[in-house]
A and B are shown apart, each in its own frame.
Chain A
Amino acid sequence: MRVGRPRRTPVAITGMGVVAPGGLGVKGFWELLTAGRTATREISLFDASGFRSRIAAECEFDPRQEGLSPREIRRMDRVAQFAVVCTRDALGDSGLDLAAVPPERIGVSIGSAVGCTMRLEEEYVVLSDGGREWLVDPAYAVPHAYDYMVPSTIAAETAGVCGAEGPVALISTGCTAGLDAVGHAVRLLQEGSADVMVAGAAEAPISPITSACFDAIKATSPDNDDPAGASRPFDLDRHGFVLGEGAAVLVLERLDDARRRSARVYAEIIGFASRSNAFHMTGLKPDGREMAEAIRAAMDLARIGPDDIGYINAHGSGTKQNDRHETAAFKRSLGARAYEVPVSSVKSMIGHSLGAIGSIEIAASALALEQQVVPPTANLHTPDPECDLDYVPLSARDHAMEVVLSVGSGFGGFQSAMLLAKGGTT
């Protein structure tokens, strides 16, 4: 612990673009969340018969309608399309005059856990003749096959949209990538490596191979008879997560810069930290120890204590182990305060979009702060005695709050925590 360090420069969220299941754009997204509506359905993106879990939260996304050219649509995997559309929306929303910012001072930090798997798999199926040929036929490879193999193209496409010539990176820490990518961007702004960061995350994992790999470890919900009710974080009858897709991209600036141009500030990012459990690639110990440590470290950086936290936007994936692990982490890091603070999981409504969800949840947290409304945990009818906090079941709640904690937990053992403060409070 290093005492006496100056408090880090706060960073402002000044623009936002969201593509999420159940409602496009920031407005549709927030309406869905505050209505407590669920967007989990039978999978339509591929024929999922024969799969254990046949449900997902899909985006009603038409790239043409979103203004992408036929060329862009041919070139980009769905995940890059999400990222690009969100970036355009976020830049427009920020009111930033990009022409007035030197391109060298614009950076990009995008998160994704599984990259361009949809196209990667589609290509494979063609080249291998439906999996029959190990020595795949190179003659039929599309020109952009390599773009799908390296996820960094998602960040590169994003950079193309905003004209970034500063630091550009794709962050791929599995299911914490969306938090970590924004955390990375905040760090770059604080150290002065960029003046504007376009940061967020995207994922389009609803494909046979990704579904099959979660089937194999029984991580996803098999409640195929009740798609709308299948994502049940913190409920006693939860049976795993429901796969989702989507993206959220934020425009970030140092708070001083945002104020100078009188930008709308959705929220300030005041702390971020990540830790790892070094325990198991998928397993979590029930004690929540490392996530608690990430939360403590983030509070430390933000110079706040448990009592300052007004809402916890939980990881809340709806797997048996996660929800217990996380509940323990909140108690461990916040003490008695854990019982007083509303906690909710938007995954109950929009599913778990792996690397993207962290950024989508930051967007939700920022909107919660701005609107002073806590989105609910849908489908929470039968509380799990082992999860005994206030999870805001079923309906959104008006709630006065200054600071929101958003956390994530992912394969690899990664645990991340971010703190956001209401715009204009620091």
Chain B
Amino acid sequence: MRQFTVDDLERLLRASGGGDEHMDFSEDILDEEFSELGYDSLAILEMSALIKREFGVELADEEVAELQTPRQAIDLVNQRAAEVPIT
């Protein structure tokens, strides 16, 4: 699997939860909490479903529930991707 990047996250998050087009998905916001960025639990669930569909990475319920920030999401997806064989 190719690397899950900030751009991927931004794209999937916007698709899942909408968002301000002017918001800059740069380093600054990677450690902001999703709730602070205006993404609720449903948006995160939706994002995890899109990640599964596009990247083949399935996150466990508890893992999704505990995701707090964009950086955590990026790290977790890449970590999982490294564990599973590419299908």
Contact = CB atoms under 8 A, between A and B. Distances in A.
* A and B: bona fide binding partners: yes
Interface of A: 216-218, 222, 280-283
Closest 6 pairs between A and B when the two form their complex, measured CB to CB: A218-B61, A217-B45, A283-B41, A217-B42, A282-B42, A280-B40
Interface residues of B, number: 8
B41 A216 contact: no
Interface of B: 40-42, 45-46, 49, 61, 64
Contact of B49 (A216, A280, A281, A282): A216
Contacts of A283: 40-41
A216 B45 contact: yes
B27 to A, nearest CB: 29
B2 to A, nearest CB: 26
Contacts of B40: 280, 283
Contacts of A217: 42, 45
A217 B64 CA distance: 11
A218 B42 contact: no
Contacts of B49: 216
A281 B40 CA distance: 10
Contacts of B64: 218
Contacts of A216: 45-46, 49
A280 B42 CA distance: 10
B15 to A, nearest CB: 15
Nearest to A320: B65
A227 B85 CA distance: 33
Given A217-B45, A218-B45, A218-B61, 7 more contacts: A216-B49, A217-B42, A218-B64, A222-B61, A280-B40, A283-B40, A283-B41
Contacts of A218: 45, 61, 64
A216 B49 CA distance: 8
B33 to A, nearest CB: 15
Nearest to B46: A216
A216 B64 CA distance: 12
Contacts of A222: 61
A218 B64 CA distance: 11
A27 B58 CA distance: 46
B46 to A, nearest CB: 8
Contact of A282 (B41, B46, B61): B41
Contacts of B61: 218, 222
Contacts of A282: 41-42
Contacts of B42: 217, 281-282
A281 B42 CA distance: 9
A130 B45 CA distance: 26
A217 B40 CA distance: 12
